[in-house]
Structure 1
Amino acid sequence: MKIAMANDHAGTRMKNEIKAYLESEGYEVVDFGTYDDTSCDLSDYVYPAALAVAKGECDRGIFVDGVGYGSALIANKIYGIYAAVCQDPFCAKLAREHTDSNVLCIGAKIIGDMMASEIVKTWLTTEPLMEEKYRRRVNKVKEINDKHCVPVK
């Protein structure tokens, strides 16, 4: 699985730790930056990473910023991106099972390294529920996406 990663200055250290874990587990990581803790604009990194997921160049995305919501706000503007902010493994499990999220957003100022690691592991290894009620709900969100968002070329 190929994972797009992006972050701002607040998420650099945590992103690098997650990236090292992913690579040690055999995931291919495409790192869109930033690469240091110099103040920067999150959208400069999350936007191209989200596009890579939307275009199918990467299978999923993991974005790290100070709180997680900035990344999700940007990513969810892109057609076909379903980004979820997760602050614990339970949320990560539900984000995959109930919504089939394809982007995970983490807040480096909110959670610690061990929690981030468990969130990532849970999110990557949880499959969407295939029961009819969950598929129906996911499909309704996709219909909204298709109605109001422009496909990425």
Structure 2
Amino acid sequence: MKIAMANDHAGTKLKNEIKAYLESEGHEIKDFGTYDEESCDLSDFVYPAALAVAKGECDRGIFVDGVGYGSAMIANKLRGIFAVVCQDPFCAALARQHNDSNVLCLGGKIIGPAIAMEIVKTWMHTDPLTAEKYRRRVKKVQEIDAKHCVAVK
């Protein structure tokens, strides 16, 4: 699977740890930066990474900032992006099972590397539920997305 990754200065260290894990699992990583801990603007990195997922150039995205919400807010502005913030593996499982999320956002200042790795493992290895009620709910969200968001070119 091809994974887009992005971060700001608060997420550099955790992103690099997650990146190494994903590569060891055989995933291809497209790293949109930043690559150091100097203060920067999150949108400069998350926006192009989210575009890559929205355009289908990457299968999923994992973004790391201080809390996770900034990344999710930016990413969710794009049609076809269903970004979630997860702070534990239970939420990561539900975000995939019930919502078929395609972008995971983590807070490098909120969670440590051990729990972050469990969240990533859970999110990466959990499939959406296929029961009719879950497919129906996901489809309704996709329809709202298609109705109100401009297609990405």
TM-score by length of 1: 0.99
Amino acid at match of 1:103: V
Matched, 1:116 2:121: no
* Aligned pairs, number: 153
How does 1:2-151 map onto structure 2 within 5 Å?
Answer: 2-151=2-151
Q: Find the aligned partners of 2:24 and 2:132 in 1 and give their Cα distance.
A: 36
Cα RMSD over matched residues? 0.4
Identity %: 79
Structure 2 gaps of 5+ residues are: none
Which secondary structure does the structure 1 equivalent of 2:111 belong to? coil
Structure 1 gaps of 5+ residues are: none
Which secondary structure does the structure 2 equivalent of 1:64 belong to? strand
Q: Find the aligned partners of 1:130 and 1:84 in 2 and give their Cα distance.
A: 20
Task: Please give the per-residue CA displacement for 1:50-107, whole angstroms capped at 9, x wherever unaligned.
Answer: 0000000000000000000000000000000000000000000000000000000000
Amino acid at match of 2:113: D
Amino acid at match of 2:65: D
Q: Find the aligned partners of 1:143 and 1:29 in 2 and give their Cα distance.
A: 29
Q: Find the aligned partners of 1:40 and 1:26 in 2 and give their Cα distance.
A: 30
TM-score by length of 2: 0.99
Q: Find the aligned partners of 2:135 and 2:7 in 1 and give their Cα distance.
A: 31
Instruction: Give, in angstroms, the shift of residue 151 of structure 1.
Output: 0.7
Q: Find the aligned partners of 1:39 and 1:98 in 2 and give their Cα distance.
A: 36
The 4+ residue runs of structure 1 with deviation greater than 6 A are none
